[in-house]
Amino acid sequence: MNPWEIGRFAFLGLLANKVRTGLTMLGVLIGVGAVILLVAVGNGSSKSVQASIESLGTNLITVSHTAGGGRFGAAGRGSELKDLTLDDARALVDPVRAPHVKSAAPVQNTTGSVVYAGQTTTVNSVVGTTPDWFATTNHEVARGTALTAADVDNSRKVVVLGGTTVENVFGPEDPVGKDVLLSGIPFRVVGVLATKGGAGQDTDDTIVLPVSTLRASLAGYGSLSQITVQATSSGATDEAEAEITAILDARHKITSSAQTDYRIVNQASLLSANDETNRTFTVLLGAVAAISLLVGGIGITNIMLVTVAERTREIGIRKAIGAPRGAILGQFLAESTLLSVLGGALGVAAGLFSARFTVVGIEPAVVPSSVFAAFGVSVALGLFFGGYPAARAASLRPIEALRHE
């Protein structure tokens, strides 16, 4: 018998019992599809968090003030803590002492609510800063203009609004040029930030105004909340961090680490920490997927064993009419191959198809290796558990196979 003939026999064999064939393929399909989809969801969530962190800028470094109790040893030294000042922020941009710092912007945060046309709306964050803030934090102005140095110098009452804030306060109206009340003080809207999106807190619900204006009329003087620093590249954040430490230590006359009155948070380290978390998450999902593949595999194994046991009599008949062992083995191997390859291919198709939809708010990203692994494992299982019992049955004496119940 030639291979084509054996393939035809296998095909006819599968066709002869459509329900069994269908169920077996369904088992393989679900096993393979589940693995692909689950791994894709894990990978997708990891990617989306990564992307939202990257949109903040991976070369971003935040220097924040240790406001009492922020760090061990800082508490109880209240008056000894030096404020982060606008001068500190300016001092960090120094091409000689800090060649890896590209820009730095002072930030003073407060909260507040906006009144427009008699309606009061609470805003997530009110940020007092300088024009450098826009470039440093990767914010772009979608409409109108950004803050200018003159705005800061003259403490002008102007604001740039985040996308969500505009939606909440103005709806579809164009806010540029309108006046709003911020804590009872009228401000003119000069611009609107481009929407950034991102996971977790809505970073688009924000109001940006000159730091001088904020300090003069809303929050009062004192320490800055933080200084946002942009390193020259995401690879230079460690060097930039060291330079910042050197400059601030000198300015604040800090000689030992116990005296440190500021904290530096590196966005890149945040990213890698997050990456770690997500890898754990993906591994977890992979484990779930592996279990589902195992269960699917046991299903394949089971149905293959049942099939062969059920067909041992048939093998006996075939042997009695003169089928050589090779032909029987070939047929059963070809049947298992067809089953598992077709089922696996359908599973890959189902997995890839369902990965195109958003699953519980996560856009799945297919991992190619998971596709190959799932497909390979199911095909291997199908081949082995279809082939091995068939090989055993084929080597029985015909009468033994015929009497098999």
Partner 1 sequence: MSAPAPVIDIRQVAKVYGRGDAAVHALRGVDLAVDQGDFVAVMGSSGSGKSTLMNILGCLDTPSGGRYLLDGTDVGGLDEHQLSLVRNRRIGFVFQSFNLIPRTTALANVELPLAYAGVRARERRRRALAALALVGLGERTHHRPNELSGGQQQRVAVARALVTAPALLLADEPTGNLDSRSTEEVLDIIARLNATGRTIVLITHEDEVAERAKRVVRLVDGLVAEDRRQDGARRGTRRAAFRAVGA
Q: Which of the 8 DSSP states describes residue 83?
A: P
Nearest approach, Cβ of residue 311 and partner 1 (Å): 9
Minimum CB distance to partner 1 smaller for 327 or for 352: 327
Minimum CB distance to partner 1 smaller for 112 or for 316: 316
- Residues with Cβ within 8 Å of 261's Cβ and at least 6 positions away in sequence, in order, are 65, 66, 74, 80, 81, 82, 252, 254
Contact call for residue 323 and partner 1 (CB under 8 A):
yes
Contact call for residue 238 and partner 1 (CB under 8 A):
no
Contact call for residue 258 and partner 1 (CB under 8 A):
no
- Cβ–Cβ < 8 Å for 103, 230: yes
Contact call for residue 320 and partner 1 (CB under 8 A):
yes
Q: Which stretch binds partner 1 (CB under 8 A): 5-13, 156-164, 225-233, 285-293?
A: 5-13
209: which 2 tokens? 């105004």
Binding residues for partner 1 restricted to 79-138, rule: CB under 8 A:
none
φ/ψ of 287, rounded to 5, equals -65, -45
103: which 2 tokens? 């820009």
Nearest approach, Cβ of residue 10 and partner 1 (Å): 13
81: which 2 tokens? 């803590």
Cα(251)–Cα(227) distance, integer angstroms: 15
Binding residues for partner 1 restricted to 287-316, rule: CB under 8 A:
313-314, 316
Nearest approach, Cβ of residue 323 and partner 1 (Å): 5
In the shown chain, the binding pattern of residues 14 to 33 toward partner 1, with x for contact by CB under 8 A and - for none, equals: --xx----------------
For 386, half-sphere exposure in the C-beta direction (CA atoms, 13 angstrom radius) is: 27
Angle at 253 between CA 252 and CA 258, to 5 degrees: 90
Minimum CB distance to partner 1 smaller for 307 or for 370: 307
The single residue among 102, 156, 252, 319 that binds partner 1, judged by CB under 8 A, is 319
Task: Tell how far CA 82 is from the center of its chain.
Answer: 38
Contact call for residue 322 and partner 1 (CB under 8 A):
yes
- Total of residues contacting partner 1 (CB under 8 A): 24
Query: In terms of C-beta distances under 8 Å and separation of at least 24 residues, what long-range contacts does 10-15 make, across chains too?
Result: 10/330, 10/331, 10/332, 10/334, 10/335, 10/337, 10/338, 11/338, 13/331, 13/335, 14/335, 14/338, 14/339
Helices (H), 234-266: 237-252
The single residue among 325, 353, 376, 380 that binds partner 1, judged by CB under 8 A, is 325
Q: Which stretch binds partner 1 (CB under 8 A): 57-65, 96-104, 361-369, 394-402?
A: 394-402
Contact call for residue 396 and partner 1 (CB under 8 A):
no
Q: Summarize as ranges the residues that interact with partner 1 (CB under 8 A).
A: 1, 5, 9, 12, 16-17, 313-314, 316-325, 327, 395, 397-399, 402
